């Protein structure tokens, strides 16, 4: 592993009005790594992920990509750097077709051949999207919409791909399928930063994990060490914590 992180969050503080959502949070993501961020509802997971896209803008601290501060850039410029996101809630465009949704994800790609090649790759990951390519996205099932959101996020061929709750609201079989595909995406060379309530699936996939509690990082470790941690097992993996 390269000693220099590809992406760094350094001493991040973020607020919603007078409420501090993130308090001195630091996190490193290395190239070709899968990093999971787990925590309960309201812990600040989505805030941390989306603070890179200024939703909300950080109050203090810095976000670095290959050592250069990027937290002041627009979303368009961040995508051009090689960072993309599949947001919580999917945010697809229901009245547009599957293919039109994918093309919206490729707006920064000027090379038509590269665009077509990436779309072909996404259809290979999600054959059902190819079958549905002329269908309006709003008529897809929940699982198909999640596949479309992931596919759209992959269209700019990101070096780092953020995924916010990709398993949310999906049946267990679909969750397993989605995580298998995420593993394939990582093996093909895309670095993944995964924000998930499904700690079991996330930590099994991840090389490393961070546990966020009330806006602060409380635990860091390999995916396996966190899975084996009694505190994590009790809080996130027990029979009463399956939705956390």
Phi, psi of 162, deg, nearest 5: -90, 135
Which residues have CB under 8 Å from 210's CB, separation 6+?
27, 35, 36, 37, 38, 217, 219, 220
Q: Quick check: 212 pLDDT over 90? A: yes
Tens-digit pLDDT profile for residues 142-166: 999 999 999 999 999 999 999 999 9
> Under the phi-then-psi rule, with left for phi > 0, alpha for psi from -120 to 50, and beta for the rest, what region is 95?
alpha
The full set of domain ranges for the chain reads 7-237
Architecture of domain 7-237: 3-Layer(aba) Sandwich (3.40)
Give pLDDT, residue 241. 43
Average pLDDT of the residues of the chain: 91
Give pLDDT, residue 202. 95
Provide DSSP, 216-234: EEEEEEEHHHHHH-HHHII
Question: How far apart (Å, rounded) are the C-alpha atoms in residues 202 and 149?
Answer: 18
Q: Quick check: 243 pLDDT over 60? A: no
Q: Work out whether strand 160-164 and strand 83-86 pair parallel, antiparallel, or are unpaired.
A: parallel
Q: What count of other Cβ atoms lies within 10 Å of the Cβ of residue 106?
A: 20
Give pLDDT, residue 240. 37
Q: Quick check: 179 pLDDT over 80? A: yes
Q: Work out whether strand 83-86 and strand 7-16 pair parallel, antiparallel, or are unpaired.
A: unpaired
């Amino acid at each position: 592993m390269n000693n220099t992180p590809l992406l760094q969050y350094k001493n991040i503080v973020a607020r919603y009005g007078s409420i501090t959502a993130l308090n001195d949070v630091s996190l490193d993501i290395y190239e070709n790594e899968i990093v999971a961020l787990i925590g309960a509802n309201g812990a600040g997971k989505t805030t941390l992920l989306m603070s890179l896209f200024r939703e909300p803008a950080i109050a203090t601290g810095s976000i670095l990509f290959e050592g250069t501060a990027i937290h002041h850039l627009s979303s368009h410029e961040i995508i051009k750097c090689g960072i993309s996101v599949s947001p919580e809630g999917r945010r697809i465009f229901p009245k547009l077709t599957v293919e039109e949704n994918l093309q919206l994800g490729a707006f920064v790609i000027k090379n038509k051949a590269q665009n077509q090649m990436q779309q072909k790759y996404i259809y290979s990951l999600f054959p059902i999207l190819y079958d549905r390519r002329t269908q309006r996205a709003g008529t897809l099932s929940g699982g198909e919409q999640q596949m479309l959101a992931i596919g759209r996020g992959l269209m700019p061929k990101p070096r780092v791909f953020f995924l916010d709750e990709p398993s949310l609201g999906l049946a267990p079989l679909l969750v397993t399928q989605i995580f298998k595909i995420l593993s394939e995406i990582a093996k093909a060379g895309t670095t993944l930063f995964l924000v998930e309530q499904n700690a079991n699936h996330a930590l099994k996939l991840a090389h490393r994990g961070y546990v966020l509690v009330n806006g602060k990082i409380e635990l860091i470790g390999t995916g396996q060490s966190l899975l084996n941690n009694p505190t994590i097992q009790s809080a996130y993996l027990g029979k009463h914590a399956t939705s956390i």
